[in-house]
Structure 1
Amino acid sequence: MKNNKIYNIPALIFILVLSLFSCKEEPEKKQERPNILFIMSDDHAYQAISAYSNKLIETPHIDRIANEGMLFTNACVTNSICAPSRATILTGKHTHINGKIDNLTPFDTTQVTFPQLFQKAGYQTAMFGKLHFGNNPKGVDDFMILPGQGDYINPRFITKEGDTTITGYVTDIITDMSINWLDKKRDPEKPFLMMYLHKAPHRSWWPSPEKFKEFTKKEFPEPSTLFDDYENRGTAAKTAEMNILTHMMYSHDSKIKPETIAEMGNVQPEVPDLKRGLYASYGRANSLQRSQYGPILDSINHFFKENWPTMTSKEKMKWKYQRYMQDYLACISSVDDNVGRVLNYLDDNKLAENTIVIYTSDQGFYLGEHGWFDKRFIYDESFKTPLLIRWPHKIHAGTTNDDMVQNLDFAQTFLEAANIKAPEDMQGESLMPLLRGIDDKWTRESVYYHYYEYPGEHAVKRHYGIVTKAYKLVHFYHDVDEWELYDRKKDSQEMKNVYEDPAYADIVKTLKIKLTELRIKYKDSKALDQKYIEQ
């Protein structure tokens, strides 16, 4: 027995040492660079995402990004119009720097875009859907993009090999192309940056046939400001041409056939309709698609023909609002379904864990607030944009953030996440401290906005301004010289301009100084006038 115990000691020591080594953690593997999936829709109002409010629609798949990541409640844009917003996102610079101040002014093609930097750093890059300017996106290995606004029905796409037309509904097709690239064309040995860009829900709001049938049966709550008279606002709000009753077109927007209007004889459109009106989109449909859309269009036109002549102005406004919401929200529903398809693909192919998913829009949009559709203004429904970001193991699930962030910040955020150095001339700030929950490293208290496209469609006057969590100071200029101040805490619907209220005199003075500082910081100080600071 004694000898057995002696001979077992080395064995015991060996077992103990072995157990110690077995308990020791494996050396930490080098973190792979994350994939980035950037999802953007066109004119998607934050009010039409149920993560923000389910008053109008449920969007369970888009909501999933917020539920598993972070929802930003004060995300906004630098210039609320499509192409300039996209140029800002791509370059990380204000529109007066990248050259794309409006939809007509050319983009400065010497500007470096963040996809170029990703491509140079070894990422595989792709872009599918709506770019809205330029036919040869820089920095992407593969692309299929819509020419200009593109079409909802049987859309044409620009590719490296030439143009191609695909039969079907645009939201489904863009998703098919994106999933096909992930599944068939992606190099699994490389991280990827994919820009998945929806045309929907841009005007003229053509749903898929099945959504068209479903949503024309729905009725939606009206915003409390639908019949706003702009009493306490300046010239800009009173003269803008985006009122649902007086500026939304019967054929192009509300889906009334030109022949229906011709038959009625007594319908006098408030604004001229587009030459092809309804048929600009519906004319692209094939016989099968027309058989699906036709009965729904007939029902809408029958109601219009029977009821419109006896409706009051108020009833007409209400009817146009419902038609608008039915089509707009039906388009959103398709976007949500398709976002779900892509998220499921990531899950099924074990890509979700190392992929940052971003959902946003190129700006906000009016859904009847103040009687309006469209965007352009610094007022909240236009200025604010949805922003939801998911990054497993980095962002705490279900987090909400109310800091002032902008589309100006996206490029630098993506670059830092991928450990790629951002150019010194980018003007945004990386959101990485906020994503990681280190809020005390975020010091921005205000953002700068500047809208230029006037004279132009919808007649929204040129203006620039500063926005904080508490206040919004705006200067309308060019053919007017008017200031507006809104107390965002007391007047969340921005119904009363308090610029002339003596109680806000000190706030006006302080904000004018800060506005000047922002204009200098962002190199947009050419039109500065010292007298405004001294007033």
Structure 2
Amino acid sequence: MEKRKPNIIFILSDQQRADTIKAWGYAHMSTPAMDSLVEGGMSFKNCFCPGATCTPSRAAIFTGMYAHNTGTYSFNQWGHQRTWVDDLADSGYWCINVGKMHFQPRDVSGGFHERVVVENPTSVGNWGGNGDDDWGKYLSFHGEERPNYRHQSDPEWLEKWQGVPWHLDEHLHSDAFTANAACGWLKARETDDEPFFMELGFPGPHEPWDAPQEFVDLYEGIELPEPVDFPSDLSNKPPQQAAIRAFHAGADHESRIDMPNAELDDVMRMRRHYYAKISYVDQQVQKVLDTLKETGHLENTIVIFSSDHGEMLGDHGSAYKWLMYDSITRVPLMIKDFRSLGESQESDDLVSLMDIGPTILEMAGGKIPTRLEGRSLTPYLKGAACKARTAVYCEDNYQVMRRTKDEKIVHYIGATYGEYYRLDEDPNEINNLWDDPEFVARRKELQLATLDWLATSSYANYGYKTESESDGEYGIRWHGNDAGIHGDNYKPKDEKMEL
């Protein structure tokens, strides 16, 4: 009898730092569901995102290509791009998205057969969609509205530091709605004859940090880690860092937060509510795991958990994202195969969320298109010897990051300044050595290495590589070319450039 293909669930939280999993050694956290994925699973302790904000990171993750090849550096349109979900669907998987994907425009299929769309809790407007998203409609069915514009209606908004306990019935919370929708879909699924892939995108812990009060109470009276390099005048950092901080202090949006005037007590309040929201997301993850077990799906399911990027949380005097500190670019990644449970494993090798697509396609028994720049992580799951990456990369707006185990360089496009850190000596990225005469030569070597990566990646992926029906090789097809005209440059489908 042919072995059944596994169901695959990719759980993607939003804006979750890597140092928020109790089972990873962060004792202040309360994350029993995430801990259960660590137990008997594979933990990747050095996983990095390809974009420092939601849209660029998700576009890179799901297209399998970096921003310099897709043009998605910020809040750009990317819903027209082909995703590896399309490839998974073509291989026979039923694909469903429940929750946040951050497509632009919002309501495209993106390769999914079904979608339950949930955007940010305070998304003003419809994000390029047709009316409100599914969660917004659910609120309206219950006589409620999205909690927008509180920065205008609440005179104490700035004093709350985005910590606002949920004010409506719990089932109306966007994270609860997302989990409940996923559980409802799993309960309604009657057969495992056709394998399924589910992207389960929780809106949390993206701000506002609005977990119910009982989750905030979990973090009262316990010692929490303080922010690094706080307060910081950012005097040896590129000017964009102070500009971002000032922008959020004056923004006409609910993300408004006055970090230039924050005191330590303010930041610790912020942290308490942020951790509470992670614990609330954790509870929702547990609901889904319980439903998988109740419906009999769990024994043939692989669960992958990660987040699109992290959160500054007061480090270096900043909040949110947009920058290339590890607080933002390092994210949790756990993979647990419930078909063959074993001992807990972990790896400190550098990996990237660009690896998610190739990993899932290989798990599903499908081909990995050469346009995907990541590499499959399945050898790690099998205990095989793996050649570790020497560097990972992240792109966002005006920045390109190259990070190795011991060094990080951040190139600011069009600027003479930048960031260079010796992580082996300065893991908190406090001492920017960009202009230090002792390290200028080394910094230039790393700039050249970054240029080489960009050139190689651009050449390898200047358009979409598709499999030619006639010769079984991958050629270049410009996206949107309905004639399907191929370029002259081909490479064998099993050959892949080492980037």
The interval holding the TM-score normalised by the smaller chain is: 0.7 to 0.9
8 Å Cα contact 2:406-2:423 kept in structure 1? yes
Paired with 2:408 and 2:341, the residues of 1 have a C-alpha distance of: 30
Residue 434 (structure 1) aligned with residue 380 (structure 2): yes
1:447 is matched with 392
Residue 107 of structure 1 aligns with which residue?
A: 78
Which of 256, 275, 291 aligns to 1:329? It is 275
Secondary structure at the aligned position of 1:523 is classed as helix
Which amino acid counterpart does residue 496 of structure 1 have in structure 2? N
What are the equivalent positions in structure 2 for 1:41-60 lying under 5 Å apart? 41-60=13-32
- Provide the C-alpha distance between the structure 2 equivalents of 1:464 and 1:228, rounded to a whole number of angstroms: 23
Counterpart check, 1:377 vs 2:312: no
Post-superposition shift, 1:491?
A: 0.6
CA distance in 2, matches of 1:275, 1:175: 24
Shift of 1:420: 1.0
Give unmatched runs, 5+ long, in structure 2.
143-171, 461-499
- Aligned partner of 2:180 among 176, 187, 194: 176
Query: Paired residue for 1:468?
Result: 404
How far does the alpha carbon of each residue in 1:76-121 deviate from its partner, in whole angstroms, 9 at most, with x for none? 1121110111111211111232332211x21150x22122222222
Is residue 100–residue 108 contact of structure 1 (8 Å, CA) maintained in 2?
Answer: no
- The answer to whether residue 361 in structure 2 is matched with residue 415 in structure 1 is yes
Residue number in structure 1 paired with 2:99: 129
How far, CA to CA, are the matches of 2:27 and 2:138 in structure 1?
39
| RMSD value, Cα | 3.1
Question: Does the aligned pair in 2 maintain the 1:404–1:445 contact within 8 Å?
Answer: yes
Kindly tell me: are residues 519 and 30 of structure 1, through their superposed partners in 2, closer, same or farther at Cα, counting changes over 3 Å? same
Cα distance in 1 for partners of 2:255, 2:227 equals: 31
Q: Is the 8 A contact 2:28 2:222 kept in 1?
A: no
Alignment match, 2:55: 83
Q: 1:228 to 1:66 in 2, by over 3 A?
A: same
Residue in structure 2 matching 1:515, options 450, 457, 473? 450
Q: Secondary structure at the match of 1:508?
A: helix
Q: Structure 1 residues 233, 274: closer, same or farther in 2, change over 3 A?
A: closer
Structure 2 CA distance for partners of 1:379 and 1:437, relative to 1, 3 Å: same
CA deviation after TM superposition for structure 1 residue 30, in Å: 3.4
- The aligned residue for residue 391 of structure 1 is 337
Give me the whole-angstrom Cα distance separating, in 2, the residues matched to 1:91 and 1:272.
Answer: 31
Task: Measure, in 1, the Cα distance between the counterparts of 2:448 and 2:231.
Answer: 35
Deviation of 1:31 (Å): 2.6
Q: What amino acid is the match of 1:58?
A: S
User: Is residue 186–residue 295 contact of structure 2 (8 Å, CA) maintained in 1?
Assistant: no
Q: Does 1:138 align with 2:74?
A: no
Higher helix proportion (structure 1 or 2): 1
How far 1:395 moved relative to its partner? 7.4
Is the 1:130–1:150 Cα contact (8 Å) retained in structure 2?
no
Matched, 1:271 2:257: no
Q: By how many angstroms is 1:374 displaced? A: 0.7
Q: Is the 8 A contact 1:465 1:475 kept in 2?
A: yes
What is the Cα deviation at residue 226 of structure 1? Answer: 2.3
Residue pair 1:119, 1:125 contacting (<8 A) in 2 also: yes
Instruction: State the match for 1:222 in structure 2.
Output: 226
Letter in 2 for 1:100: T
Counterparts of 1:524 and 1:49, CA distance in 2 = 39
Tell me, in whole angstroms, the C-alpha distance in 2 between the residues paired with 1:425 and 1:395: 32
> 1-side partners of 2:200 and 2:36: how far apart?
17
Kept in 2: contact 1:143–1:159 (CA 8 A)? no
Note the alpha carbon deviations across 1:369-397, whole angstroms, 9 max, x for none: 11221112121111111111111466753
Contact in 1 for aligned 2:10/2:304 (Cα 8 Å): yes
- 1:276–1:510 distance in 2 versus 1, CA, 3 Å: closer
After superposition, residues 29-68 of structure 1 pair within 5 angstroms as: 29-68=1-40
Aligned residue number for residue 301 of structure 2: 355
Change (3 A) 1:126 1:511: same
How far 1:151 sits from its partner (Å)?
4.9
In 1, Cα distance between the equivalents of 2:277 and 2:236?
34
What is the total number of aligned residue pairs between the two structures?
421
The structure 1 residue matched to 2:433, chosen from 483, 487, 498, is 498
Q: 8 Å contact 1:230–1:495 — kept in the other structure?
A: no
